[in-house]
């Protein structure tokens, strides 16, 4: 028997994001003697991470269809023709349009195994127009679930959002991986957690998109209260997004300019997190935040809001603290607690590291995906 031909379907390979990173992790860790890993995209302009993906053993198949509302039918037909020609054993689609077009095209092309995938929440788009588009497409994706053999989600919370009783047996929760390669690169540059010392300036950090749902405005307001208890406390904010100017203005109006630093884009979250005493994720909503796993992997205690899929990762009072969202008071209280009780914080960091490398090790993700592929293929051969 030859290799199992697996094709992932996504819109493009032009912007590095969480999904592209997961595909990189699969290319690095999958058994490529058993599986042939490819990605079919509507567009690919060529870039360093695309070339690296192919160096790892993956392959990018681009349909070379320009982005346009008038090209929607071309994308669907292009996928169908590609599947008929390439004849994959498994097609796994990702996110709204790729789910919709990919599942339909794969079913029409009689691909043996079809897997839909969602890693985000339903109402998470950053503009009103995009949210409206998503609301129109989501019911169609839900309808097409019936044409898939399985539907993979990355948290129980996301499963609840997409759940349909008629497709109950199709759902699989497989938590996303953190990037072990980046972890080792950062670990090599950081101090051993066994010799962790208190910084002269206790340091808090956030990494993520600077948009409303991430709740960074709440964290900034909490810092005013933290500073009354710990005057030398510092906050580092890494990332960019539509609220950056507004957040910078808020820092100025609250007179916290000497305490808060905006770092911009961070290419390796582990390196930044390794310099923190506490990592904070103050989101209003979350699906399954990989950055929490990155903080836990680095042995840094996590303070996060008890929303979405976050409580599935953070064990309250064990690997960190969970607080209510949109509450600067609750956030400040938790931050002060962990900055003043360093023994407790260190213990939480150690437990978080154990949990990240136990329950959420990247190898477990790869093994779960490979097991899913072989199980679904086995069902097809029996039927």
pLDDT, one tens digit per residue, over 69-118 is 889 999 999 999 999 999 999 999 998 889 999 999 999 999 999 999 99
What is the structure's pLDDT at 198? Answer: 44
Q: Indicate whether 51 and 118 sit together in one domain.
A: yes
4-8, 99-103, 263-267, range with greatest mean pLDDT: 4-8
At residue 323, what are phi and psi to the nearest 5 degrees? -130, 165
Q: Indicate whether 124 and 232 sit together in one domain.
A: no
Residues in a beta bridge with 90: 6, 113
Q: Indicate whether 43 and 67 sit together in one domain.
A: yes
pLDDT, one tens digit per residue, over 240-256 is 999 999 999 999 999 99
Give the confidence band of 189 by pLDDT, cuts at 50, 70, 90: confident
Q: Indicate whether 154 and 229 sit together in one domain.
A: no
Q: Indicate whether 194 and 147 sit together in one domain.
A: no
Contacts 24+ apart (CB under 8 A), 190-196: 190/271, 190/274, 190/275, 190/298, 191/274, 193/298, 193/299, 193/346, 193/349, 193/350, 193/353, 196/299, 196/346, 196/349
**Rounded to an integer, what distance in angstroms lies between the CA atom of residue 93 and that of residue 115?**
6
Q: Indicate whether 272 and 323 sit together in one domain.
A: yes
In which domain, by residue range, is 291 found? 182-358
What is the structure's pLDDT at 197? Answer: 43
**Rounded to an integer, what distance in angstroms lies between the CA atom of residue 205 and that of residue 221?**
14
Handedness of CA 12, 16, 20, 25 (dihedral sign): positive
Q: Provide the domain count of the chain.
A: 2
Among candidate residues 81, 66, 10, the one with its CA nearest the CA of residue 39? 10
**Rounded to an integer, what distance in angstroms lies between the CA atom of residue 349 and that of residue 333?**
18
**Rounded to an integer, what distance in angstroms lies between the CA atom of residue 301 and that of residue 351?**
9
Q: Indicate whether 211 and 229 sit together in one domain.
A: yes
Tokens of 34: 């058993």
Q: Indicate whether 339 and 259 sit together in one domain.
A: yes
Q: Indicate whether 199 and 226 sit together in one domain.
A: yes
Q: Indicate whether 255 and 188 sit together in one domain.
A: yes
Q: Indicate whether 44 and 24 sit together in one domain.
A: yes
Q: Indicate whether 151 and 252 sit together in one domain.
A: no
Tokens of 32: 């490529």
Q: State whether residue 84 is helix, strand or coil.
A: helix
Among candidate residues 247, 246, 217, 220, the one with its CA nearest the CA of residue 234? 220
CATH number at 149 reads 3.40.50.2000
**Rounded to an integer, what distance in angstroms lies between the CA atom of residue 310 and that of residue 30?**
27
* CA distances, 218 to each of 211, 257, 280, 320, 363 (Å): 12, 16, 11, 18, 35
């Amino acid at each position: 028997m030859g290799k199992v031909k697996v094709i992932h379907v996504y819109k493009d390979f032009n912007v590095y994001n969480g999904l592209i990173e997961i595909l990189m992790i699969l290319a690095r860790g999958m058994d490529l003697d058993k599986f042939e890993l490819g990605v079919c995209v509507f567009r690919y302009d060529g870039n360093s991470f695309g070339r690296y993906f192919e160096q790892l053993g993956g392959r990018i198949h681009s349909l070379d269809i320009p982005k346009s509302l008038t090209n929607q039918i071309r994308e669907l037909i292009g996928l169908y023709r590609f599947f008929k020609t390439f004849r994959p054993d498994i097609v796994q689609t990702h996110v709204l349009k790729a789910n919709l077009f990919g599942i339909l095209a794969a079913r029409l092309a009689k691909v043996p195994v079809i897997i839909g995938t969602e890693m985000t929440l339903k109402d998470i788009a950053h503009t009103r127009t995009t949210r409206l588009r998503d609301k129109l497409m989501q019911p169609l994706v839900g309808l097409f679930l019936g044409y898939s053999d399985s539907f993979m989600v990355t948290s129980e919370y996301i499963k609840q959002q997409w759940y349909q009783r008629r497709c109950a047996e199709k759902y699989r929760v497989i938590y996303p991986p953190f990037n072990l390669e980046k972890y080792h690169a950062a670990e090599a540059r950081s101090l051993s957690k066994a010799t962790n010392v208190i910084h002269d300036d206790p340091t808090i950090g956030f990494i993520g998109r600077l948009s409303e749902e991430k709740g960074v405005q709440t964290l900034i307001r909490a810092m005013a209260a933290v500073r009354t208890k710990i005057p030398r406390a510092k906050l580092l904010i890494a990332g960019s997004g539509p609220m950056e100017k507004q957040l910078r203005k808020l820092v100025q109006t609250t007179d916290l300019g000497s305490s808060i630093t905006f770092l911009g884009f961070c290419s390796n979250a582990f390196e930044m997190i390794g310099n923190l005493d506490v990592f904070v994720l103050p989101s209003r909503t979350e699906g399954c935040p990989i950055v929490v796993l990155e903080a836990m992997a680095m042995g840094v205690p996590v303070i996060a809001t008890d929303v979405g899929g976050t409580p599935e990762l953070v064990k309250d009072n064990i690997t960190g603290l969970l607080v209510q969202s949109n509450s600067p008071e609750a956030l400040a209280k938790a931050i002060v607690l962990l900055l003043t009780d360093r023994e407790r914080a260190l213990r939480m960091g150690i437990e978080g590291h154990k949990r990240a490398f136990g329950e959420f090790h990247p190898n477990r993700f790869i093994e779960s995906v490979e097991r899913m592929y072989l199980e679904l293929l086995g069902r097809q051969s029996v039927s």
